[in-house]
Amino acid sequence: MRVYLLITAVAFVVAAALTPALRALGQRTMADIPLRARDMHTEHIPKLGGVAMVGGLLAGLGVASQSPFLSGVFTKPDVILGLVLACLLILVIGVADDLYDIRWYYKLLAQLGAALVMALSGVRLEVLPVGWWHVSDPFWQISLAMFLMVLTMNAINFVDGLDGLAAGISVIGSSAFFLYCYMMAREVNQYDHANLGALLMAVLLGASLGFLVHNFNPAKIFMGETGAMLIGLVMAVAAIVVTTDLQALDRMRFRNVPAYMPILLPLAVVLLPVLDLSLSVVRRTARGKSPFSADRGHLHHKLVDGGYTHRGAVLVLYLWSGLLAFGAVALNRIPANILLPIWGVLLLGAGALTVHPWVRRKLSVRSVAKARKLAIERRGRL
């Protein structure tokens, strides 16, 4: 655990230290870019924070490569090298978009390129733990893996609309996923806790947290396309890697961790972004627009329009992310008959908190209407 904490700390320090420099650079290069109608802020804020996140992630991986504790992970470094190359591709296209707002299909091509690099480096979906369905055809292994990576990249990108939202969800999700991967490693081998999924989540946690220091409301800098695509890619790669690792494990040795967890946990972590993405695609398609066109119909927009402050809306979405992600992890250690009722009550409480502004507004409108009606009746009597 100490090695993972060290790697997280390195990624955190590097990302936190690089962000102010990139903010200063962004202020000079983006000063003349006009604000967009869907933007939630009223002043120019640089969008190069994702570059600092890439720097933190690469620094964490560099330190990890020198650790004897993680030597087993680097025995076959194809995935790590592929991730470095994919990050560089994301960095180029992300910075280009942050500076010049390029067409959506260029970004999609870059995402497909990054996903293909990862697939060719060995990140392929070979087995689905639900029912232990094996995917034997290499074409489908690559295709399914690329689909999940591109989907997750776009899901994180879609939810990145309020100060600290995407970075905070990344911190919550990577923390939960790290705990799961670490527990899995301990369950499989009590002497060797090295695990690629845990390593990826440790560096992502550090990089996201280091950036979040500067990005939480009021934000001084945004992560831009680079950071959103980085989070989505690393999350998806970790999920696929963990799922693939299960194929070689003896079910009895892994009996304390349900086989469906590698599918359930990533879904729980990115459920809100994927839900937002799905609703956006349906909404825009129904209006005859491109699914990749921008609007103000995202979940975070609805919360702000419903009465939440920017910070309040972000905290509500943090709450949902934390309940879903850590609730899924808790299924590994707490009996379902104990956990599910508690989890259900917490989810109901979160639901009540979420709709509270709308209920309060409706009651307020009714109260005002009733007061007006009484005033009119009194005037009639006079």
CA distance 39 to 109: 25
Is 157 annotated as contributing to ligand binding? Answer: yes
Contact 269, 176 (CB under 8 A): yes
Host H or E run for residue 4: helix 2-29
At residue 82, the 3 state secondary structure works out as helix
- Can you tell me the distance from the alpha carbon of 66 to that of 74, in angstroms, rounded to the nearest whole number? 9
What is d(CA 361, CA 56) in angstroms, rounded to the nearest whole number? 44
**CA atoms of 161 and 276, how far apart (whole Å):** 11
Name the token pair of 186.
């301990």
Instruction: State both tokens at 104.
Output: 């959506």
The distance in angstroms from the start CA to the end CA of the chain is: 79
Report CA torsion sign: 312, 278, 146, 251.
positive
CA distances for 347 relative to 230, 312, 324, 351, angstroms: 29, 17, 9, 6
As a residue count, the chain comes to: 382
Q: Are 118 and 83 in contact (CB under 8 A)?
A: yes
- Both tokens of 251, joined, read 């079910």
The residue ranges of DSSP E strands in the chain, in sequence order, are 127-128, 133-134
Which residues are within 8 A (CB) of 138 and not within 5 positions of it... i.e. 6 or more apart?
A: 124
- Cβ atoms of 169 and 275 closer than 8 Å: no
Q: Which amino acid is at 352?
A: A
Q: What is the 3-state secondary structure (H, E, C) of 292-346?
A: CCCCCCCHHHHHHHHCCCHHHHHHHHHHHHHHHHHHHHHCCCCCHHHHHHHHHHH
- Mark the binding-site residues, compressed into ranges: 157
> Binding site membership for Mg(2+): which residues?
157
